[in-house]
Amino acid sequence: MLVGAWLLLTVNFGSFLGTPPQLEIFEEIICQKHRQSLGEGVFQNGTVFSDGDICKSEPVQSELAFVTGWKNTLDILPSVALGLPFGVLADKIGRRPITIVSLVATGLSEVWPRLVCWFGWPLRLVWLTGLFRAPGGGDLVATSMLLTVVADVFDADERATALFRLTSLSIIAEITATPISASTMAVSPWIPYIAGSVIMLIGSLSSLFIPETLGVGTARPIMEEADEQEIPESLQPSSQKDTVFQIVVSQAQEFLNSSAFMWQKPSVLVSLLVVFAGSLDKSNLALLIQYASAKFHWTIAQAAYLISLRGAVTLTLYLAIIPLISSLLIHKLRYTALQKDLFIARMAAMAGVIGYFLVFIAPHTAPLIVGIVFMSLSMPFVISVMSVATSFVSAEHVATLFSAMSVSQALGNIVAGPTFAKFYVVGMQFGLRWSGLPFAFGSVLFLMSLIPVLIMRVHNRA
């Protein structure tokens, strides 16, 4: 647990330290290229642009949203392609080796965009970052493995609270890293940008000390009666020497048998779809900074403090509000652990609907801040749904389920990333007043997630 906490803290600290300066460096590269295409002091539609104005103009901001949106999407692709196979593998050989490979590959991949910017290569080459993450399945696979370790060692009553507390460490990293990044950007954005990469590498190498927990949670009961499963032929001993083709076929069959439980349980399928629709966090982080910077005429460093605000509210939620609500629901209102997690998921989805809509319509700073607060209150949504879904499967399938959840999250971010960017471009074309269109889209997605969660019912068991 301590090693997992350290990993989440350091890797996320490095990531948040590098996010605002990366956005500023990308913007400056695009802006410089746009200035060169216009020529210094060139009139466009009768107006002379200053350096500050032209960097916030529609062509620059649209390209910035396009580059960052597709970078986020392509970074997630390895999790989509390899997440579920890695989860099945973790249920077979153990959590530790998969976690090590995923984290180290993720840490090393973050060196690539720094090299692209430093050497002045075409900026869209940063889209290749995801290629370097492929050997480990991406950061969502690494996160799902760490959550699996927690699920292995905690029972149902404590699991969600443990997941919230572990996740709160990434929020602590968000709160502390963002102001440090914003303040050092005043000297040079390259300082926090390079430092973030170094810290991520150091943190990812700490995965070598993570313990193996496979088998620890095998005695945990499930909420639904599972169908009796026979041992697949691919797992039975063979007296004959298999050919390469037979080995490939048997492994494919084993994979299908290992993941079949997900497609046979409607409750698990609904949970996967809900996580898909509610996974917006990765897609809106950089865009929120860009949106606030352009609409309210802030620097990127100033807009980055909104991330610290979001983190402070989320940390308070995880460490104080969620445990208090959980205690009230279980001890006073006699909710089961599953009913409690489902209630939290519903409240979080409602907060997401409100928060994203407020950010969309915000004409000035006050409603923007209120909207970000509500967006922060939606953060427990995915974890709560994951905890509910965990109660529907046996312990030997937890890593597979969590990896499937990571794939669902990744697919949601893949759809949301370029879609958010496209809505931002369309909004900018109509003017800054409409630049918040992607957050209207986020509000709709949370509404779509809320409906099935409201309909979902759970067994009234302790």
Strand partners, 307: none
Looking at residue 318, the DSSP 8-state letter turns out to be I
231 falls within a domain: no
pLDDT of residue 250: 60
Domain span at residue 205 reads: 2-40+47-215+262-455
CA distance 161 to 172: 16
Residue 222: inside a domain: no
Give me the CATH number covering residue 430. Answer: 1.20.1250.20
Q: Is residue 377 part of a domain?
A: yes
Q: Is residue 460 part of a domain?
A: no
Burial of 238 (0-12, 13-18, 19+ CB in 10 A): exposed
What's the CA gap between 348 and 379, in Å, rounded? 7
Is 247 a domain residue?
A: no
Residues of the chain with pLDDT under 50: 41-52, 218-242, 244, 247-248, 251, 460-462
Q: Residue 460 has what pLDDT?
A: 47
Measured between alpha carbons, how far is 253 from 235 in angstroms, rounded to an integer? 10
The reply to whether the predicted model has a pTM over 0.85 is no
pLDDT for residue 50: 41
Residue 144 included in any domain: yes
Asked, for residue 177, whether it belongs to a domain, the answer is yes
Is residue 252 one of the residues assigned to a domain?
no
**Structural domain count, the chain:** 1
What are the structure tokens assigned to 219, written together? 């005695």
